[in-house]
Structure 1
């Protein structure tokens, strides 16, 4: 059955309005990069392979526990605002259609292993010949060249490879994972930034260019402290759990209630004096064990026991209000459920309610910035599989109905 053509925009919104992205990405890093471009107003068209659906279409969570290729919360979060066309890229006609889409696009994005796009006949040299103004980004695990460029990679691998795991965990414990596949969203944000810079260069010069992004390198780029210590001093920082080298107390402490926690950080001796007064124990400011940062670090176990005894008797909100009033960084350690109901985020409009044809109205994380002159908006939910195939073939590529029907009948498109 033919998918209905998607609704057209009433008005172009966002600073990238008028920019078209041919999006060959899948899983998380690439879709996260193109999500930022969609948030900024670009028309992002996902090119989905007929034989190999995006992994995240098949992953939970699913609303009401009912699986389906269009029902994944994972996929629907990271692909909101995009369109979808399905092509058989194992056929010459499918590849030709992909090339024609790229020829009338501003950006092409992919995050396959190095060499996959070349083998499909969609590599940089082919595409730049069709569209000299094209900006193409490849977000791979290790980059387009180097001894390990063909290694298989997923975002979780970037955490230990980058040294992040060596910094994560408690003293005396082995390295630990950080809880999410950090290399993916971090690589996606870096990728979007690079695309914007390349578009600005094209605006000034008329030249397109190829962006070779290594997720390994983008993960290391946000970890300067440990690497600089190794480079300059030949040492590696110890794993310290929730503690900080330059602040004490610093961590997440038990609060009143079941699985309730409070995060706080005391930056210097002046803040320590304010903290001591706020908790009703001003004498701690002069206690030799805690009066200076060096003393607090030397007696950190005793310090944390003291702090926990106080925080455990109060709710996270009570502690936050009391300490924030005296200029101490304190805030609840929120659960995902807490975040969904957070009043501050609701007032800022961070959450968006999107009506999806298969899962109904659902809340999603929205756009985390506000622009005064070029406001951005999430215009549509994530696409169902192939929902824009007819729109792309007809309105963008200019194919007539008979040709579209023939391509569909022969399985070239879906």
Structure 2
């Protein structure tokens, strides 16, 4: 594509390891990303897994970038670097405490030199707080963020999720934060420093314990008992003729269709089984019946029959099956490319489509031999934007967003714009309520609604009527963005798709999300996050081993949150482009694409070395000792990751076993992996006498990555999160007590934290919007209410 939304935006990328995917996402969107490496190359060029002589993570995270080699200890090279940073729009760096000490190359120093620069600093735990100098790995972040405590099977050790999901979360949130600060610069003329903590990116952005939740929360115990949650039966995985399928019986109508397919067994005729908790409690009787029904049918047959009956069913695919899947090839999600000179593989191309063309892979990561130079000349593309927003405390002040989004994806997407000043109008029909509004557990308002719908207004309108659709078109004529996540083609069938809306508003940006996208044989499949995970290979890897039939991802709603965040980045990129050319855009994000990009390293490895990828449980194939270890106490665990020889020496010294530092059994990574059981035994004996927090603290202070397994309530008192004010209190008049909530993922020097206006009830702002935006008088408003076109707040809810 030659018309990508960030064309002309200049990015200097000085990342090495965690956070490299931020620059890749920006490059996919068209930014001119120049990666700066020292002579000899970045350490991440040697990151495992390595196949065919290349680091797969490096190859994926640095595609579409140019490379410049500079010795920043050299005066001339440092001058070249500073000159080019001064001509850049965004700097992204990941050195824990800034670029080389004493050289004036830290992010804050560069911002002082170039006041218009957006300087994004990515680190494991952020630039402030008691953990700021600690080492972060994916497994450590999983443990400390609360993800690990919810992963695994009851009665077994907690289970690390597949590799890649943390890097994705960090990269996507860093890309959003970079563009948000850049958009603010276009409005104010001033750059700023952005502090990204990988820890907080996962705590607040991956599958937050105190944020919008999926249906799995319906059965979650609020007392958080020891052990893993018994969540497998929420989205049960059942055997069939050629493998396994997963079903999602969430809505009453879906259960009723399943009940009919089963032949209406008397023992499940009670209306009580219309609810998720009742079916969950009866899983030991219900699921064997369904499995017996499925036994003689293949995955594809069951998926097709489920679609015909309105029952969401998805096959559980292994990575090898994902790579050969017809849908992912037809949709353009997976492509065959040369990821390094002479090395071809099948890879995930990219997250998003703009105007029906994918913004993804264009060229492989450059080798040091291909290193070029920076861009030439000045960049005044976005120096003076006449309509870059109106004055106000937040970047999106003056923007209007019509939000048709539903459940977790929709709430996460719309909230990004509502939190930063946009007038986000949630368009809803009380006869077909958002699934989040149906997830309340005895309270007058679901906590997920309070978290996800804050700072919005609500317009009740029946879009199933001609007049209702005309109301929507009137609003769209003056709006900036439309957000939706229905089955592909739904907006078009209603006459409010992009092609229709751009006729009345050429500046409109329409973002349409779905499970599997609009192109390919699965384009009309019913999709929820659990089915997407299963179809993309995530679920097959999220278990203790390939021999385990059970899956351990039942308590998460991944990739809903990250999919919504990907869409938010794409919309923001389109808003930036619109400032230059004045045109809107059609954006498409498939949740499946988000999951596949995160799993890219595993898929590429399987592509290059068939049969090499399998579920590894808590065993790190590339390091030892590394994994999840028991500590003193009941169900207390600590993750430890010995990455290299220095970590091993630090560990042996800490535990008083210096004799092991030179032991030939443990001499080098390969030997430690070969003698993993013995290395694990040494570590386990030491950990068994310490609490997770004691062990984590001692190991981190010795330079060894480690993280205590944290349960969700413990996040609220974590000293690092407390020091960084990661949580505040969200109040709502319909809730019995305030909710802990996040107001930010990144920390900005100039962008204010989000306000916390309560989420509206359905139709609470219908009258205000009808008068203010539609120009209706009272007679016209009353007529549309009487005709069922407009829906004000019901009297009983006031």
Structure-1-length-normalised TM-score:
0.91
Q: Measure how far apart 1:299 and its partner are.
A: 2.3
What is the distance in 1 between the residues matched to 2:614 and 2:662? Answer: 29
> 1:207 is matched with which residue?
583
Q: In the alignment, is the contact (CA less than 8 A) between 1:86 and 1:413 conserved in 2?
A: yes
> 1:17 is matched with which residue?
397
Q: Matched residue of 1:44: which SS?
A: strand
Q: Matched residue of 1:289: which SS?
A: helix
Structure 2 matches for 1:365-404, cutoff 5 A? 365-404=742-781
Deviations 1:358-406 (A, max 9, x none): 1153222331112222223133122222222122112222222332233
What is the distance in 1 between the residues matched to 2:728 and 2:682? Answer: 42
Q: In the alignment, is the contact (CA less than 8 A) between 2:487 and 2:524 conserved in 1?
A: yes
Given candidates 551, 570, 576, the residue that maps to 1:176 is 551
Deviations 1:209-268 (A, max 9, x none): 101111111210111211111222334412211222322222222222222221221110
> 1:225 is matched with which residue?
601
> 2:409 is matched with which residue?
29
274-283 or 342-351, which deviates more: 342-351
User: CA distance change for structure 1 residues 413 and 204 in 2, over 3 Å: closer, same or farther?
Assistant: same
User: CA distance change for structure 1 residues 284 and 349 in 2, over 3 Å: closer, same or farther?
Assistant: same
> 2:482 is matched with which residue?
108
1:123 and 2:494 correspond? no
What is the distance in 2 between the residues matched to 1:168 and 1:128? Answer: 43
> 2:730 is matched with which residue?
354
Q: Measure how far apart 1:289 and its partner are.
A: 2.9
What is the distance in 2 between the residues matched to 1:247 and 1:16? Answer: 45
User: CA distance change for structure 1 residues 255 and 366 in 2, over 3 Å: closer, same or farther?
Assistant: farther
Q: Measure how far apart 1:177 and its partner are.
A: 4.4
> 1:268 is matched with which residue?
644
Deviations 1:271-323 (A, max 9, x none): 11101111222222233333321122122233323322221211122112211
> 2:385 is matched with which residue?
none
Deviations 1:174-198 (A, max 9, x none): 4734341212112111100110111
User: CA distance change for structure 1 residues 109 and 130 in 2, over 3 Å: closer, same or farther?
Assistant: same
User: CA distance change for structure 1 residues 297 and 213 in 2, over 3 Å: closer, same or farther?
Assistant: same
Deviations 1:13-47 (A, max 9, x none): 32222211100010111221122222332221110
What is the distance in 2 between the residues matched to 1:374 and 1:386? Answer: 31
1:194 and 2:194 correspond? no
Q: Matched residue of 1:21: which SS?
A: strand
Q: In the alignment, is the contact (CA less than 8 A) between 1:264 and 1:330 conserved in 2?
A: yes
Deviations 1:111-146 (A, max 9, x none): 001121122222122211121100101111111222
Q: In the alignment, is the contact (CA less than 8 A) between 1:14 and 1:375 conserved in 2?
A: yes
43-52 or 393-402, which deviates more: 393-402
> 1:7 is matched with which residue?
none
What is the distance in 2 between the residues matched to 1:31 and 1:175? Answer: 30
Q: Matched residue of 2:459: which SS?
A: strand
Deviations 1:335-380 (A, max 9, x none): 0111122232233222131221211532223311122222231331
Q: In the alignment, is the contact (CA less than 8 A) between 2:450 and 2:732 conserved in 1?
A: no
Structure 2 matches for 1:14-413, cutoff 5 A? 14-60=394-440, 62=441, 66-68=442-444, 71-171=445-545, 172-174=547-549, 176-178=551-553, 179-359=555-735, 360-413=737-790
What is the distance in 2 between the residues matched to 1:247 and 1:115? Answer: 47
Q: Matched residue of 1:318: which SS?
A: helix
What is the distance in 2 between the residues matched to 1:252 and 1:317? Answer: 14
Unaligned runs of 5+ in 1: 1-10
Using CA pairs below 8 Å that are at least 6 residues apart, which structure has the higher relative contact order? Answer: 1
Deviations 1:65-90 (A, max 9, x none): x233xx11122222222221111111
What is the distance in 2 between the residues matched to 1:398 and 1:308? Answer: 70
Q: Matched residue of 2:730: which SS?
A: strand
What is the distance in 2 between the residues matched to 1:385 and 1:341? Answer: 34
What is the distance in 2 between the residues matched to 1:28 and 1:104? Answer: 27
> 1:4 is matched with which residue?
none
What is the distance in 2 between the residues matched to 1:15 and 1:177? Answer: 40
Structure-2-length-normalised TM-score:
0.48
What is the distance in 1 between the residues matched to 2:497 and 2:478? Answer: 16
What is the distance in 2 between the residues matched to 1:340 and 1:324? Answer: 21
What is the distance in 1 between the residues matched to 2:551 and 2:678? Answer: 25
User: CA distance change for structure 1 residues 83 and 346 in 2, over 3 Å: closer, same or farther?
Assistant: farther
Q: Matched residue of 1:356: which SS?
A: coil
Unaligned runs of 5+ in 2: 1-390, 792-798
Aligned length: 398
Which aligned runs of 4 or more in structure 1 are off by greater than 4 angstroms?
A: none
80-89 or 194-203, which deviates more: 80-89
